[in-house]
Amino acid sequence: MFIADIRKDFYEVVANQRVVLLVAPDIDALCACKILQALFHCDQIQYTLVPVTGWQDLGTAFLEHKEQFRYFVLINCGANVDLLEMLQPDDDSIFFICDTHRPVDVVNVYNDTQIKLLIKQDDDLGVPSYDDIFRDEDEEGEDSGNESDEGSEPSGKRRRFDEGAVERRIERQRAKREWEARRREILFDYEQYEYHGTSAAMMFFELAWVLTKDTKDMLWWAIIGLTDQWVHDKITNMKYVTDIATMQRHVSRHSHRNEDEENSLSIDCMRISFEYDLRLTLYQHWSLYESICNSCYTSCSFKLWTLNGQKKLQEFLADMGLPLKQVRQKFNSMDMSIKENLRDVIEESSNKYGMKDIRIQTFGVHFGFKNRFLASDMVHATAALLESAEKDDSETDTFIKALDALSRSNIDRLHSGIELAKKKLIAIQQTVASCICTNLILSQGPFLYCYLMEGTPDVKLFSKPMALTLLCKYLLKAFVLSTRNKRCKLLPLVMAAPKDVEKGTVIVVGIPPESETSDKKNFFGRAFEKAAESTSSRTLHDHFDTSTNNAENRFLDGKLFLKFPERERCE
Amino acid sequence: MVSFVTARPAPHAAGTICSAVPVGRKFLNTHTKKQTDMDPSEVEFLAEKEMVKIIPNFSLDKVFLIGGDLGPFNPGLPIDVPVWLALNLKQRQKCRIIPPEWMDVEKLEEMRDLERKEDMFTPVPSPYYMELTKLLLNHASDNIPKADEIRTLVKDIWDTRIAKLRLSADSFISQQEAYAKLDNLTLMEINTIRAFLLDTLNCMYKLRSNVQ
């Protein structure tokens, strides 16, 4: 059931209760969790925070807590499966689900008692109407009751009634079969593609705003949640721009308070500002040269894995008049004269080299004298912390570390996250370069396929879903630009990397084909299920994103059996 | 030159120049050692009893606590509450803190200039000015205009007074005076010098008594 008034139907319901927060491992969920925690602290609502990495974790956590807790809040998990069937809860457990995964399972939508969806209804959902999917079974019972009544009538009349009854029955059965066929088709259309809706962090920020408890910290977290969706390519450009406009209204409302007083605010206060900044990842915490080499957009436009590409880069820098020595040192130590007009200069030059979108609308934060961050910097740093491949860190530890990095008082952790993110980006670029140069991408009929061997450097980094998805997207972009085969440019990419060497499992990710106007809809969830059936290898569809799953090594042999229905291939 | 007559610290000080009453766990742990110091966090704790004006955004009836009555709270109407409650409400976003009257740039500039001119300690804006400045500026700097300048000014006043205190203590010991008069010193300032001064005087006494 969709919640109409988030304050009355959610916040006031949990106000005097103890809640369990089940949070998925992505940055949007972390930000949403932070906002909700801050709200709970204000009103002293007791809660238990449980990070969950997949469906099994979710089930275990639910079993552990179902005796003591009645209210469960699920962040970025649970909307796209039939939750009641999976968890088998008691009748008094209530689930509040705030999830960006679409399509929302129809059972979750139409359940009135136990499942409450914290999702805006105008969010382009396309849920099939109730009558198309569910049918009252009472009709059948009544008719058969009538028939048995009629059966007790005297035989003469009965024969006449019988013919009519038989005809009606045949008619009913035919209608029922038609209805069921239509229902199957509607459900198939509805559930074949996976995509994402409005950020969960933004939903909770709206809750805070309605309660007038919104602070700049919460606004910043909401912005980071939205930027995470853009960095990891989960929403379309249109949606991103629309959401940025919404956030911009909030930002101006908060900054308006600063500028009102003629006495300026303390330098330690947080200032959020709208920036039309460069698309170079982490450039303010790195050197400009490194950032250009390791950002997907620029690296793919220049084709920096070729010698030609390197030359073009040197030309580009010369065109802008930036001396190499300046460009290679840390951004903060560059000459002020160069830094002043950097954005405009880069935009002008990049237009000449075919990079029309080098600038992107985003937000930056600024507190204290030293600390300036862009939203995308925070996303990369936190993602690197969340998926860091330390041996002695369990997944809960990395989750807590990443959550801490979002607070303003833990700048050290954020800086360590930025360093990890730099290493991750360098690893991604090197892997992309080696894959393209050694032609590791194979065309397997309806899709492209790439398998990272165990000995590849930094392959441990890619045993995590977000890092592997990022690698996958960069690789596809690079491949599309470097191949001459027209047909290959329209194919989706499936990528596999070893997950656990001892157990012999791999993690498999699939992304839709690269296109300018992509609507970011992913069909691999269904495709992987079918492939698993046909190869009978053990797969674990454990991740909340259905386009990622873990499998045995044997699954890869079955890749030949991955067949997609015609309709899906045309996307 | 400061004249030392009698020891009379500023009002509200819980201790005199002699050792303070040991508090809580410190007493249990160090009962064999002489307790000559208060922890600065204890001084801050005492400072939190001062009253400050807030504007709440909720309503609550009168609250009867052991230390006194508080309330009733009405949204939008200013009310005086202890600092500890003001900070808790501020962190829960339930109020807006109004800076005390003395926390103003011009007034603090005057005080600082006066302090620099005088040899004696000048009257302080509040017996807990240092702690209040730190607490209010850390938690509620968005409600206090020109917070950075205020922080700098209060630090200047503190530095001047501590310098004077050091000078006086130095001359007290070297000239072997018998008693000292310390007007207008706050508990925090006394606390910074208490341990050192008492230990030194004890050492001097031992040395003097051994000579004889």
How do residues B154-200 score in pLDDT, each as one tens digit?
999 999 999 999 998 888 888 877 777 778 889 999 998 888 888 88
pLDDT at B27 over 60: no
Determine, for residues A265 and B92 on separate chains, whether the beta-carbon distance falls below 8 Å: no
Which of A42, A209, A261, A265 best probes binding to B when mutated, by most B CB atoms within 10 angstroms? A265
pLDDT at B48 over 90: yes
Which of A43, A255, A268 best probes binding to B when mutated, by most B CB atoms within 10 angstroms? A268
Task: Using a CB–CB cutoff of 8 Å, tell me whether A42 touches chain B.
Answer: yes
H-helix segments, A504-546: 524-535
Q: Is A456 helix (H, G, I), strand (E, B) or coil?
A: coil
Q: Searching chain B, which residue's CA lies closest to the CA of residue A262?
A: B145
| Residue linked to tokens 């950020």 | A199
> What confidence score (pLDDT) does residue B16 get?
34
Determine, for residues B145 and A267 on separate chains, whether the beta-carbon distance falls below 8 Å: no
Peptide bond into A103 cis (omega under 30): yes
Q: Is A371 helix (H, G, I), strand (E, B) or coil?
A: strand
Tokens at B104, concatenated: 């103003």
Determine, for residues B94 and A261 on separate chains, whether the beta-carbon distance falls below 8 Å: no
Q: Name the helix (H) or strand (E) containing A212.
A: none
Comparing CB atoms, the residue among B93, B144, B145 nearest residue A42 is B93
Q: How many residues appear in chain B?
A: 212
Tokens at A327, concatenated: 């460009």
Determine, for residues B147 and A265 on separate chains, whether the beta-carbon distance falls below 8 Å: yes
Q: Searching chain B, which residue's CA lies closest to the CA of residue A270?
A: B142
Using a CB-CB distance cutoff of 8 angstroms, which residues of chain B are in contact with residue A43?
A: 92
Q: Is A273 helix (H, G, I), strand (E, B) or coil?
A: strand
Q: Alpha-carbon distance B182 to B164, whole Å?
A: 11
> What confidence score (pLDDT) does residue B80 get?
93
H-helix segments, A360-394: 375-386
Comparing CB atoms, the residue among B57, B91, B141 nearest residue A268 is B141
Q: Count of CB atoms within 10 A of residue A528's CB?
A: 23
Closest alpha carbon to A347 in A338, A356, A335, A339: A356
> What confidence score (pLDDT) does residue A148 get?
42
> What confidence score (pLDDT) does residue B204 get?
86
**What is the least distance, in Å, from the CA of B161 to any CA of chain A?**
26
Task: Using a CB–CB cutoff of 8 Å, tell me whether A409 touches chain B.
Answer: no
Q: Please, which residues have CB within 8 angstroms of residue B34's CB and are 6 or more apart in sequence?
A: B19
Q: How many CA atoms lie within 13 A of A266 on its CB side?
A: 19
Tokens at A441, concatenated: 């991408």
Using a CB-CB distance cutoff of 8 angstroms, which residues of chain A are in contact with residue B93?
A: 42, 213, 215
Q: Alpha-carbon distance A80 to A546, whole Å?
A: 9
Determine, for residues A213 and B93 on separate chains, whether the beta-carbon distance falls below 8 Å: yes
Give contacts of B 80-99 with A, CB under 8 A. 91-94
Q: Please, which residues have CB within 8 angstroms of residue A89's CB and are 6 or more apart in sequence?
A: A62, A66, A95, A114
> What confidence score (pLDDT) does residue B28 get?
44
> What confidence score (pLDDT) does residue A27 get?
93
Determine, for residues B93 and A268 on separate chains, whether the beta-carbon distance falls below 8 Å: no
- What's the farthest any 2 CA atoms get from each other in chain B? 72
B203, with CB counted inside 10 A (0-12, 13-18, 19+), is exposed
Task: Using a CB–CB cutoff of 8 Å, tell me whether A557 touches chain B.
Answer: no
Determine, for residues B142 and A42 on separate chains, whether the beta-carbon distance falls below 8 Å: no
Q: Alpha-carbon distance B113 to A8, whole Å?
A: 56
> What confidence score (pLDDT) does residue A379 get?
94
Determine, for residues A215 and B137 on separate chains, whether the beta-carbon distance falls below 8 Å: no
Determine, for residues B94 and A42 on separate chains, whether the beta-carbon distance falls below 8 Å: yes
Q: Searching chain A, which residue's CA lies closest to the CA of residue B141?
A: A266
Using a CB-CB distance cutoff of 8 angstroms, which residues of chain A are in contact with residue B90?
A: none
Reported pTM:
0.86
Per-residue pLDDT of chain A (571 residues; tens, 9 = 90+): 888 888 888 999 888 889 999 999 999 999 999 999 999 999 899 999 999 988 888 999 999 998 899 999 999 988 888 888 888 888 889 999 999 988 888 888 888 888 999 988 766 677 778 777 777 654 444 444 444 444 444 455 555 667 788 888 899 999 889 888 988 888 888 888 888 889 999 999 999 999 988 899 999 999 999 999 999 888 888 899 999 999 999 999 988 766 655 556 777 788 899 999 888 899 999 999 999 999 988 998 888 888 998 999 999 988 888 888 888 888 888 888 888 888 888 888 888 888 888 889 999 998 888 888 999 999 999 999 998 877 766 788 889 999 999 988 889 999 999 999 999 999 999 999 988 888 888 887 888 888 888 878 888 888 888 889 899 989 988 988 888 888 878 888 888 888 877 777 888 888 888 777 677 778 887 777 777 777 766 667 777 777 777 776 656 655 544 444 333 332 2
Q: Alpha-carbon distance A320 to A311, whole Å?
A: 14
**What is the least distance, in Å, from the CA of A64 to any CA of chain B?**
31
| Residue linked to tokens 């405009």 | A344
Q: Alpha-carbon distance A307 to A357, whole Å?
A: 24
pLDDT at B18 over 70: no
Which of A266, A369, A407 best probes binding to B when mutated, by most B CB atoms within 10 angstroms? A266
Chain A and chain B share a number of CB contacts under 8 A equal to 29
Using a CB-CB distance cutoff of 8 angstroms, which residues of chain A are in contact with residue B147?
A: 265-266, 268
Task: Using a CB–CB cutoff of 8 Å, tell me whether A318 touches chain B.
Answer: no
Determine, for residues A265 and B94 on separate chains, whether the beta-carbon distance falls below 8 Å: no
At position A2, the amino acid (one-letter code) is: F
Tokens at B78, concatenated: 């200013």
Q: Searching chain B, which residue's CA lies closest to the CA of residue A211?
A: B93
Task: Using a CB–CB cutoff of 8 Å, tell me whether A15 touches chain B.
Answer: no
Radius of gyration of chain A (CA): 27
Comparing CB atoms, the residue among A41, A42, A266 nearest residue B141 is A266
Q: Name the helix (H) or strand (E) containing A393.
A: none
H-helix segments, A269-341: 288-294, 296-302, 307-320, 324-328, 336-340
Q: How many CA atoms lie within 13 A of B30 on its CB side?
A: 12
Q: Is A51 helix (H, G, I), strand (E, B) or coil?
A: strand
By DSSP bridging, strand A359-367 and strand A371-374 are antiparallel
**What is the least distance, in Å, from the CA of A23 to any CA of chain B?**
24
The DSSP secondary structure of A79-98, one letter per residue, reads SSS-HHHHH---TT-EEEEE
DSSP β-bridge partners for residue A272: A365
Q: Alpha-carbon distance A206 to A327, whole Å?
A: 42
Cα distances (Å, whole numbers) of residue B135 to A60, A102, B37, B106, B145: 44, 47, 22, 21, 15
